[in-house]
Chain A
Amino acid sequence: MKDHVIHAEKLTKVYKLLAEEIYAVRDINLDIESGDFIAIMGPSGSGKTTLLDSLGCLSAITSGKLNILGKDVSHAKEKTLVLMRRKFLGFVFQDFLLIPTLTALENVQLPLFFARAQQRSSRAIELLERVGLGKRINHLPKEMSGGEKQRVAIARALVTGPKILFADEPTGNLDTKSGEQIFQILKDLNKSDGLTVILTTHNNKLGALASRIIYLKDGCIVPKEESSLNV
């Protein structure tokens, strides 16, 4: 039996908008095992990103229980969440979010800098080579295409050797070909390194390549049939 890297029970996240309370995700029960490749799918506003952010320790949950890599982070303070992100979790975003003033190499080194790691450049170069950007390490983000930027972002997310990689619509801003390339890279990392990957996507074709799909509707997990009506 595999280890649970993520265990969520009745996970709920509420946003307060003036007097109104908005349940972005509600009563989510979820177990994710090491080496899983999970795609979270659902229509816009279904709570995909909120779920991903909560699982990725980017924001505290409102209620329920959340266990990441054996650590209970349900009521964890920001300091603990920082350490979780720094050591065990990697992030890739839809619009890449590279730091525009830093080169590809520097962007990849950034998490190591925050983790106060030694030997930053060799590890960063190794990862840039792995995503096929070995010759572009000194280029600034503005000198790169969308696909290249996302590959830098993946290298950046992996540089600290995280256990789980979170990707929010990683192909959402890319053309079909670049999107497939990115998906392939993620798939390879999952297969060869056993990296747990959790991503959100609108793209059914890419979603189908995942080992498991979680369908969300109005903040709740629903069976595929129910969800697809609304996609």
Chain B
Amino acid sequence: MKTISIAYKNLKRKKIRTVLTIGAVAVAVAVLVSLFGFDAGYQQGLSNDIDKLGYHLLVTAKGCPYEAATLMLSGGGGLRYMEDAVYNRIAKDPRVDKIMPELVSSVYNQEGGPDKRGTFALYMGIEKSYLDLKPWAKFKSGGWFSSLDADEVIIGYEAAELEQRLVGDQIFVPKINKVLTVKGIFERTGTQDDGMIFIPLATAQRIFNLPGKLTGIGIKLKDIQQINEFEESLYNEPGIQVVSLAQVRGTILNLVASARAMANSVALIAIFIAVLGVTNTILMSVFERTREIGVMKALGASAADIFKIIWTETTLICVFGGLFGVTLASLGTSIVEKIIRHTLPYAPSGKLVLIKPEFMLIAFLATVVMGLLSGIYPALRASKMRPVEAIRSGE
């Protein structure tokens, strides 16, 4: 016979109560682990997305920086345009290694989507410099446009799947009644570009009736150390704003910080409630067992013996709660991911909730510590019971 087996048998006595308490702990732990995982996954996904942009700086027409950052990452249509003269001036700068003009436009297709509810297709006008800045963009089939002004498209991997197009097929652009020919299909890159339809820049300017306009210019510098200095020199250009990678990262992290703070406080409250629940459950069971505790004392149990038994019960609840919670969190990532994607204005591609073993360990240990703390009061109450008063209490 061991303390742990006495404690375990006590917990089995009121199964539903024990299971509910363990469940509350498990949910709190699962929330905690998911939050850790979200934090890590989001930051990693964001870094990944930013690295895969291929450029250090993005020049856009002046506007809200949050909007610019979001649009830049999600590839949404630019609401504002700048003249391509800006591009010509920047391209001459000797510090520039690679530079890429782009013109993004979204086209609403009423017939699109699996349930015919309508979809937005994103068209991005690019030049060959796109391939220089994004060396990982490889053709799955087909190849580059036949000319700078061809009525042709190259489709991102996911867009090709969605539109069910092969090289040589035609694609109809509804709003402007234009038919374009599929010239190539990219392999999957794991970025937002997978959902994009690319057209030659000159073609884009022509068919969307935006001559000489751009939505963005991606710039890669020869030396990343020069980024601040270079950014400052661009301040002379009127009507544009410069977004650097570090800024984008910071901006987006700021954007999700409020959501994170909210979620963290929910997790804290959940944990607090779970602790109170554990204390309440154990305290209740201590009071119910007053006479038994008195008998144990009469049979030679010291205060420390009783304390140990009650404390073990709390710890057991929290250990089981922790284990279930960690399991729940790792099984529930896909659901959490869906919810987060639905709620956040911008979510990076890739795994959004990254559950690392150390998160599980930290959450688990935190629960056990929490269990030990929540058990102190009930265990103390039990250990201080005087044998006679306890035994005679029920008579």
Chain A residues at the B interface, C-beta cutoff of 8 Å: 49, 53, 56, 58-59, 78-79, 82, 85-87, 91, 93, 97, 99-102, 106, 109-111, 113-115, 120, 156-157, 160
Residues of B within 8 A of A113 (CB): 1
Given A101-B9, A102-B6, A102-B9, check contact A114 B305 (CB 8 Å).
Answer: yes
Q: Is B291 an interface residue (CB 8 A)?
A: yes
Contact B298 A160 (CB under 8 A): no
Contact of A160 among B1, B300, B305, B388 (CB under 8 A): B300
Task: Using A102-B9, A114-B296 as known contacts, say yes or no to A93 and B391 having CB atoms under 8 A apart.
Answer: yes
Contact call B299/A91, Cβ cutoff below 8 A: yes
- A58, A120, A157: the one contacting B1 at CB < 8 Å is A120
Interface size on B, residues (CB 8 A): 24
User: Distance in Å from the Cβ of B391 to the closest Cβ of chain A?
Assistant: 7
Per the bound structure, the CA–CA distance linking A87 and B295 in Å amounts to: 15
Residues of B within 8 A of A106 (CB): 1
Question: In the complex the two chains form, what is the Cα distance from A53 to B387 in whole Å?
Answer: 9
Nearest first, the 9 closest Cβ-Cβ pairs linking A and B are: A86-B300, A101-B9, A59-B388, A114-B300, A111-B299, A97-B295, A114-B301, A58-B388, A91-B298
- B17 at interface, CB cutoff 8 A: no
Give the complex CA separation of A52 and B392 in angstroms. 13
Contacts of B387 in A (CB 8 A): 58-59, 85
Which of A102, A111, A113 neighbours the largest number of chain B CB atoms within 10 Å of its CB? Answer: A113
How many residue pairs bridge A and B at CB < 8 Å?
A: 69
Q: How far does the alpha carbon of A109 sit from the alpha carbon of B5 in the complex, in Å?
A: 13
Q: 6 A-B contacts, Cβ less than 8 Å apart?
A: A53-B388, A58-B388, A78-B303, A86-B302, A101-B9, A101-B13
| Closest-CB distance, A95 to chain B (whole angstroms) | 8
Query: Is B386 in contact with chain A by the CB < 8 A criterion?
Result: yes
* Chain A positions within 8 Å of B301 at CB level: 82, 114
A110 in contact with B299 given A97-B292, A101-B9, A102-B9 (CB within 8 Å): yes
Instruction: Report yes or no: A49 in contact with B302, Cβ–Cβ below 8 A.
Output: no
Residues of A near B295 (CB, < 8 A) are: 91, 93, 97, 99
A85 and B299 form a contact (CB under 8 A): yes
Q: List B contacts of A56 (CB < 8 A).
A: 298
Question: Does B299 contact A101, Cβ atoms closer than 8 Å?
Answer: no
A110 to B300, CA, bound (A): 9
In the bound complex, what is the Cα–Cα distance between A100 and B291 (angstroms)? 12
**CB-based contact B300/A85 at 8 Å:** yes
Q: A59-B388, A99-B292, A114-B302 are in contact. Are A109 and B1 (CB under 8 A)?
A: yes
With A49-B392, A59-B387, A93-B295 known as contacts, the answer to whether A115 contacts B10 (CB < 8 A) is no
Within 8 A of A (CB), among B289-337: 291-292, 295-303, 305
Known: A59-B387, A78-B386, A79-B302. 20 other contacts (CB 8 A): A58-B391, A59-B386, A59-B389, A82-B300, A85-B299, A85-B300, A85-B387, A86-B300, A91-B295, A93-B295, A97-B291, A100-B292, A101-B9, A101-B10, A102-B6, A109-B1, A113-B1, A114-B305, A120-B1, A157-B299
Distance of A174 Cα from B291 Cα, bound (Å): 20
CA gap between A86 and B298 in the complex, in Å: 8
Bound CA span A58–B13, Å: 28
Chain A neighbourhood of B140, CB < 8 A: none
| Residue B206 at the chain A interface, CB threshold 8 Å | no
Provide the residues of chain B in CB contact with A114, threshold 8 Å.
296, 299-302, 305
B338 within 8 A of A: no
Instruction: Kindly supply a per-residue 1/0 record for chain B positions 211-251, scoring 1 wherever the CB is within 8 Å of any chain A CB and 0 otherwise.
Output: 00000000000000000000000000000000000000000
Q: Do residues A111 and B300 form an inter-chain contact, with CB atoms below 8 A?
A: yes
Q: State the CA gap A76–B6 with chains docked (Å).
A: 30
Cα A157 to Cα B300 in complex, Å, equals 10
Given contacts A59-B387, A120-B1, contact A100 B13 (CB under 8 A): yes
Whole-angstrom distance from the CB of B184 to the nearest CB of chain A?
A: 73
CB <8 Å contact, A58 and B299:
no
- Nearest residue, chain B, Cβ from A166: B298
Q: Scoring B residues 374 to 395 as 1 if CB is less than 8 Å from chain A, else 0, what string do you get?
A: 0000000000001111011000
Could you tell me the distance between the alpha carbons of A100 and B387 in the complex, rounded to whole angstroms? Answer: 18
Contact check, B1 vs A110: say whether CB atoms are below 8 A apart.
Answer: yes
Determine the residue in chain B with the shortest Cβ distance to A53: B388
Residues of A within 8 Å of B296, CB to CB, are: 99, 110, 114
In Å, the complex CA distance between A167 and B378 comes to: 30
A79 to B388 CA separation, bound complex (whole angstroms): 15
Question: B12 at interface (Cβ–Cβ under 8 A)?
Answer: yes
Contact with A along B105-116 (1 / 0, CB 8 A): 000000000000
Residues of A within 8 A of B10 (CB): 101
Name the residue of chain A whose CB is nearest to the CB of B386: A59
Q: Please, which residues of chain A bring their CB within 8 A of the CB of B299?
A: 85-86, 91, 110-111, 114, 156-157
- A91 to B391 Cα, complex, angstroms: 12
Report B-chain residues with C-beta under 8 Å of the C-beta of A157: 299
Q: Which residue of A lies closest to B389 (CB)?
A: A59
Q: Which of B291, B298, B389 has the most CB of A within 10 A?
A: B298
Which chain B residue shows the least CB distance to A106? Answer: B1
Contact with A along B1-16 (1 / 0, CB 8 A): 1000010011011000
CB distance from A48 to the nearest CB of B (A): 13
What residues of chain A lie closer than 8 Å to B386, measured between beta carbons? 59, 78
Q: How far is the CA of A188 from the CA of B301 in the complex (A)?
A: 28
Contacting pair A85 B298 (CB below 8 A): yes
Contact A115 B302 (CB under 8 A): no
Which chain A residue has the least Cβ–Cβ distance from B289? A99
Q: Which of B47-71 contact A (CB under 8 A)?
A: none
Chain A residues whose C-beta falls within 8 Å of the C-beta of B13 in the assembled complex: 100-101
